[in-house]
Chains A and B, each alone.
Chain A
């Protein structure tokens, strides 16, 4: 199943002690940089890179150079250490700096876990975050962990990006070993993957868990059940080979169809039971990943990289069956999204960020993400061409990179489909890019290429992945105020939010009605800004709510200014206006968060108690 490589016969070498020096130096420099103190709250709109000490940037440079040397010299252990070091630098640094769980959606996921622990059930008809109640696997698992251990999941969730990326890298390393005998490919592909993984779906989320399982499914299938080699020397996609391949694929489809209705228990034994367990766990935990699993498994079966037709059937049936049973109320409510199947333009339109709408810094971040993606695709394309011309068609890697693209035609996924395509395609792209960088090249050339490409990718990653940290990172005060509000607000209360970017909905989230100002129609936002006290007085005073609150936080300010949904200073002007109004009372005010309510309501609302504010 391996690409024969000119490097195949060269033994792996052990790095001398001096070979570890760049890695050790980069880790030391990075640690010194962080220990010296980083005022992350002073971040600008280009994110963490704006406040990182120069010594940290030097550390990254040393790491990139050291990694290039290690790969060129075939010092596999050092190269593996370099990949781990990059994962820690990119994903552990925010955790260490903020001291809190990063990213608003991670807090919402805690809220769903809290719902299960409080009520002992899920409710797909609940008003907010209903989708998670239809696919509760991830949340049930963490509810078990929280109840059995008493742990604060927010503390555990902080380390999810590190854990998930290490797992992904470990799986990708093994996959690289399947597609090539060149021992330089695994560390190179993993380095490219980490350095270009800007999408950021590795936080405390069902997607992260499902993504790891998806890669594990692919690895188990191709490693243990595949009938054909991961790349086929001399069998590039010539016209004759394509024709032969199509005939063979149609033959397999026919055999699969003929088996439907005549189940054979022995067929299940061909694919390890663990694969089916993961396929079902994915189907029960995430909406989109089952589609990717189904497409990929079907493609693997049709192309011979996985063994049995039952696998393709099972992967499709598992996802469809779960959606049609436990998630049926959500499918009915979102039937209009199903109408987008096949509409590529509609699915893409909602996913592309309008560069002109946000701040200049955010435009730079968005451009960096696009450039990073284009760069990886370009490297991968070069890898495909190189392998094809050498007579070794990298079929498996092309399949892994290409099959997620079909998602675009299936669903817009709330405007996120392009991000998910990049997420699922990236392992395949990294393999192909790695092939271009190392296959059939001398050590010196590999060192130069990996050094240049790796440095460029890491530089782009700092902007693309860590460029939104001003709104993704939360201060302890924001967390404390938000949690205190949710814990004290009576069920049936109205909560007006500056935006959704804050550590919210983490406890008792189902008892509130939410109105984010930045998601109101433009006319509504303009009304609020023109006369905050009067308009917000209307909003908080109307309706039969048991309580009414307005929450403003530092991260909301960052979010609205970065996205352009409100003008710079918009939320601050609202806060000033309410301070000057006798109709509003601040229930609690901390440096980074304030909770307002109507003065007429304040006496009968429970206190929002936050220590130190």
Chain B
């Protein structure tokens, strides 16, 4: 049972990190590595669920996808505002900071033994 839980948690972490990496890849290159019709769903999917999956309490996640989307969008807004008010706005940089922050938080939360956020 414990091994199953660990596998599930690691699989979830891997998927989330992959989504974050893909979102960052979407911003790479001129011309971009990925076409627009791929970049929008990839980045959109990441913004809509990535930060929420990384940060949200399991009980919050169980409230359904709409709650998860609201949480994800909230964190995305805060990340964008931080970049905006830092004085060096770049949408690409904002996405990279968001993806990086999401990956770090996800790693810290999900890779920690027990996978629980300290209270």
A149 touching B36, Cβ below 8 Å: yes
Q: Does A330 contact B (CB under 8 A)?
A: no
A284, B70: Cβ atoms closer than 8 Å: no
Q: Please, which residue of chain B has its CB at the minimum distance from the CB of A269?
A: B119
B91 engages A148 (CB within 8 Å): yes
Q: Does B108 have its Cβ within 8 Å of any Cβ on chain A?
A: no
Q: Give the shortest distance, in Å, between B75 (CB) and chain A (any CB).
A: 6
**Residue pair A277, B43 in contact (C-beta under 8 Å):** no
Q: Which of A117, A120, A144, A209 has the most CB of B within 10 A?
A: A144
Partner of B67, one of A137, A138, A143, A220: A220
Contact partner, B44, options A145, A223, A266, Cβ 8 Å: A145
Max chain A C-beta neighbours (<10 A), residue from B59, B74, B76: B74
Once bound together, how far apart are the Cα atoms of A274 and B52, in whole Å? 8
Residues of chain B within 8 A of A146, CB atoms compared = 91
Complex alpha-carbon distance, A209 and B55, angstroms: 20
Structural contact, A213 and B74, CB atoms closer than 8 A: yes
> Is A326 on the interface with B (CB-CB < 8 A)?
yes
* Chain A residues whose CB sits within 8 angstroms of the CB of B91 once the complex forms: 117, 143-148
Chain A, 141-162, CB within 8 A of any chain B CB: 141, 143-151, 156
Q: Does A148 lie within 8 Å of B63, measured CB to CB?
A: no
Q: Does B7 touch A at the CB level, under 8 Å? A: no
Cα-based distance from A326 to B84 in the complex (angstroms): 12
A136 within 8 A of B: yes
Tell me, yes or no, whether B104 is within 8 Å of chain A by CB: no
Q: A136-B81, A143-B91, A148-B39 are in contact. Are A266 and B70 (CB under 8 A)?
A: no
Q: CB within 8 A of A145: which of B47, B66, B83, B119?
A: B47
Q: How far is the CB of A510 from chain B (nearest CB, A)?
A: 16
Q: In the complex, which of the residues A174, A277, A282 contacts B75, with contact meaning CB atoms closer than 8 Å?
A: A277
Please tell me if the beta carbons of B78 and A277 are within 8 angstroms of each other in the complex.
Answer: yes
**Interface: A140 (CB within 8 A):** yes
Residues of B within 8 A of A151 (CB): 36, 39-40
Residue from A168, A213, A277 whose CB has the most chain B CB atoms within 10 Å: A277
**Interface-central residue, B36, B40, B66, by most chain A CB under 10 Å:** B66
What count of chain A residues pass the 8 Å CB interface test? 48
Instruction: Report if A306 contacts B (CB, 8 A).
Output: no
The CA-CA distance from A224 to B99 in the complex, in Å, is 28
Residues of A within 8 A of B90 (CB): 120, 147
Q: Are A144 and B80 in contact (CB under 8 A)?
A: yes
CB pair A219 B67 closer than 8 Å: yes
A272 within 8 A of B: yes
Chain A interface helix/strand/loop/mixed: helix
Residues of chain B at interface, number, CB under 8 A: 46
**A residues 484-540 touching B (CB-CB < 8 Å):** none
B 89-108 contacts with A by CB, 8 A: 89-92, 94-95, 98
Do residues B119 and A266 form an inter-chain contact, with CB atoms below 8 A? yes
Per-residue B-contact encoding for A104-147, CB less than 8 Å = 1, 0 else: 00000000000011001110000000000000111011011111
Is A281 located at the chain interface by the 8 A CB criterion?
yes
Q: A120-B88, A151-B40 are in contact. Are A281 and B78 (CB under 8 A)?
A: yes
Question: In the bound complex, how far is the Cα of B93 from the Cα of A144, in angstroms?
Answer: 8
8 Å CB contact of A216 from B32, B71, B83, B92: B71
Complex: chain B residue closest to A146, CB-CB? B91
| CB pair B88 A220 closer than 8 Å | no
Known: A146-B91, A149-B36, A213-B73. A284 touches B65 (CB 8 A): no
Contact B73 A209 (CB under 8 A): yes
State whether the Cβ of A18 lies closer than 8 Å to any Cβ in chain B: no
> Would A137 and B81 count as touching, CB distance under 8 A?
yes
Give B23's nearest chain A residue, CB to CB: A148
Would you call A280 an interface residue if the criterion is a C-beta within 8 Å of the partner chain's C-beta atoms? yes
* B60 pairs with A274, CB closer than 8 A: yes
Query: What is the distance, in angstroms, from A161's C-beta to the closest C-beta of chain B?
Result: 16
- Given A120-B89, A121-B89, A274-B60: A281 and B73 interface contact (C-beta under 8 Å): yes
Asked if A278 lies at the interface with its beta carbon under 8 angstroms from chain B, I say yes
| Residue pair A116, B84 in contact (C-beta under 8 Å) | yes
B69 contacts the other chain (CB 8 A): yes
Query: Which residues of A sit under 8 angstroms from B56, Cβ to Cβ?
Result: 272, 274
User: Given the interface contacts A216-B66, A220-B60, does A140 sit within 8 Å of B84 by beta carbon?
Assistant: yes
Report 21 cross-chain contacts, Cβ distance below 8 Å, ordered by A residue. A116-B84, A120-B88, A137-B78, A137-B81, A140-B83, A141-B73, A143-B80, A144-B91, A145-B44, A146-B91, A148-B23, A148-B39, A149-B39, A149-B40, A171-B66, A213-B74, A224-B57, A224-B59, A277-B71, A277-B74, A280-B74
Residues of B within 8 A of A (CB): 23, 26-27, 32, 36, 39-40, 43-44, 47, 52, 55-57, 59-60, 63-67, 69-71, 73-78, 80-81, 83-85, 87-92, 94-95, 98, 117, 119
Closest 8 CB pairs of A and B: A147-B91, A216-B70, A170-B66, A120-B89, A281-B74, A140-B80, A269-B119, A144-B91
Instruction: Report which A residues bind B (CB closer than 8 A).
Output: 116-117, 120-122, 136-138, 140-141, 143-151, 156, 166-168, 170-171, 174, 209, 212-213, 215-216, 219-220, 223-224, 266, 269, 272-274, 277-278, 280-282, 284-285, 326
